[in-house]
A and B are shown apart, each in its own frame.
Chain A
Amino acid sequence: MRMQVLNDKELVKSYVAGNEFALAELLRRYKSNIYTSIYLFVKNEDQAEDIFQDTFVKIIESLKRGKYYEDGKFLPWAMRIARNLCIDNYRKKRRTPLVATSDEYDIFSILEYHADNGEDKMIKDQARTKVRDLVDQLPEEQREVVILRHYADMSFKEISQMTNVSINTALGRMRYALINLRKMIAEKSVVF
């Protein structure tokens, strides 16, 4: 059976039944979405590789233990795991508990920046570096929505559920993010 023609729900079912090719297809479909999102969250290539591996280890364990109930929505479920691991990673490094001031909190307020750590190794392409720098300059809540919508390919509804805000708030943050990026490019005359 060709894995490419199966939808996510069918792939998960096939994998749980023991078909390793189904996992390979899920990886092929979503490795870029998940890895790019993790990388933008933690801003460090080595950590991103580790968290990417840990994310799939958790995914594998959850699937094998029958703890997947998302009914076909594999990517949002996988991204929740990845996002939580990014937060856990930061907490472990800092060894300080997160103090939430309200029901919602922002991942970027607790994530560390490693701009000078292996920069040359991390980013080989100059255009990518410039775009990443621009994304990094966005206000935290706007940057998170850009990562989740553009790179993780989650819908605005799914983002609103993950981040505990309304859909209009998620849309508004994305709007302002794109507006700010456009302005930054115009102001800095960034040429790609």
Chain B
Amino acid sequence: MNLDFTNDLLRLAYKEVSPLNSLPIIEDIENNEETKRSFDTISEMKKELDLLKCNPSDASIDFILKYSQKRGLVVS
């Protein structure tokens, strides 16, 4: 299994390629099996990494909002 891929594919996966510049890359994905497999691998790994996304506690959010309100009162 060839796991390598180009920087262009990586930038496309992370939406860092302009619409104009993305056209030849997309064309390559559609016409080249190996490129398609590489792009699918990147997409698959992105989904795996998404599983790790998490959020701060509500207590932290409350603390920040209250701090901001107090800070605002001090300024005014």
Contacts and interface: CB of A to CB of B under 8 A. Distances in A.
A35 B46 CA distance: 18
A28 to B, nearest CB: 9
A73 B34 CA distance: 36
Interface residues of B, number: 36
Interface in B1-49: 1, 3-5, 7, 10-11, 14, 16, 41-42, 44-46, 48-49
B10 A131 contact: no
Grouping DSSP codes into helix (H, G, I), strand (E, B) and loop, the A interface class, with mixed when no group exceeds half, is helix
Interface residues on A, range: 35 or more
Given A20-B65, A182-B41, A151 B7 contact: no
A49 interface: yes
Contact of B51 (A131, A155, A172): A131
B53 A36 contact: yes
Contact of A20 (B5, B49, B72): B72
Interface in A121-149: 125, 127-128, 131-132, 134-135, 146, 149
Interface of A: 18, 20, 23-24, 27, 31-32, 35-36, 39-40, 48-49, 52-53, 56-57, 60-61, 64, 125, 127-128, 131-132, 134-135, 146, 149-151, 155-156, 168, 171-172, 174-175, 178-179, 181-183, 185-186, 192
